[in-house]
Structure 1
């Protein structure tokens, strides 16, 4: 009888030996799942600043585009000293030329950053020291350009309204100034969103450049 029970005892021993192996496999799967979840969470946290920066730059680009369209198409009709009709465009006034230049340069820079950040987010690599430094220093320059452009346009409008003679000012000139003022106001909004982008890039520079 004892000899017949020996195989049964051996089978029981084998099942006991297999149990730790199954437990080990389950533990490894749980560790791998936890590691994958942690990596994904870290990646999403790392991408959040880039996504926020991308959104702000889209807003900036939209404001600059609207400002450029408004100021570039603005004009009025008047007469020269000989009584001949002439057409005055915004590009004939130096202040508005500066506004247009600020719009164009700001749009070019913002569009470049949008493309670079988009591919950075798409690749899933939130840290790039080269992009970090380019974004950091570029934001400061563009912010200065946009802010001074908006200030120049708004300042000219205020000064004109202060010294104008209502009896001699034509309605066409007044409409021209009002439209230019609207363009400068939109440019100011673009400079504000650019300032927010500049703050984001400043906060994220140490983290990105450390890699």
Structure 2
């Protein structure tokens, strides 16, 4: 009895082991293409994530930056009175800061678009084709120009504010200028990380075409 049961038991063990190996192999093969496709793209995607964070914080800072100012209207014609007028000055009231806001928003939208297109290609199992490679190559250069000029415009206007009004500046205006300067600095950091992404896309272009 024992001799007859031993071969059947061994056969059942081999069958179950084979089934488990097949299941593990199928599950590994299902996950493997996605992981293999994403692995060489992790560093470029991480750089773009850093760029997005810089631009997002820069946009929040500059979009919420404002200060209150008051103007005094003196005697008008025959009426002897003065009128104090208070106004809330926003960053969007200045063309340079509006350009910064536009650069932040466009840069963030482009970064999300590139990340989405890259992940979509990896999920579909198809390699990044020449169309996406050329789009990424040329658009990186345009976005880099936009971000760098936006940072230059913001920093330049901040320097002019400090140079012209440093003697009579009040605390609210100084806070406004400091916040704008911080936003422009973050935008500059975003343009630097965008430059790194541009270099990476330039190096990868011959491999993808």
Q: TM range, normalised to the smaller chain? A: 0.7 to 0.9
Give the RMSD, CA atoms, in angstroms.
2.2
- Deviation for aligned residue 1:160: 1.9
TM-score by length of 2: 0.74
Q: What is the DSSP-based 3-state SS (H/G/I as helix, E as strand, rest coil) of the residue aligned with 1:76?
A: strand
Q: What is the DSSP-based 3-state SS (H/G/I as helix, E as strand, rest coil) of the residue aligned with 2:67?
A: strand
Q: Name 1:200's counterpart in structure 2.
A: 200
Q: Name 1:20's counterpart in structure 2.
A: none
1:1-211 pair list within 5 angstroms: 44=36, 48-82=39-73, 83-166=84-167, 168-209=168-209
Residues matched between the structures, number: 169
Alignment partners' CA distance in 2, 1:143 and 1:49: 23
TM-score by length of 1: 0.74
156-165 or 83-92: bigger deviation: 156-165
Are the counterparts in 1 of residues 118 and 128 from structure 2 also a CA contact under 8 Å? Answer: no
Alignment partners' CA distance in 2, 1:91 and 1:127: 39
Deviation digits for residues 74-97 of structure 1 (CA, Å, limit 9, x no counterpart): 000001353300000000011100
Q: What is the DSSP-based 3-state SS (H/G/I as helix, E as strand, rest coil) of the residue aligned with 2:126?
A: coil
Q: What is the DSSP-based 3-state SS (H/G/I as helix, E as strand, rest coil) of the residue aligned with 1:78?
A: strand
> Quick check: which has more Rg, 1 or 2?
1
Instruction: Give the gaps of 5 or more residues in structure 2.
Output: 1-31, 74-83
- Deviation for aligned residue 1:125: 3.4
- Deviation for aligned residue 1:189: 0.8
Alignment partners' CA distance in 2, 1:108 and 1:188: 17
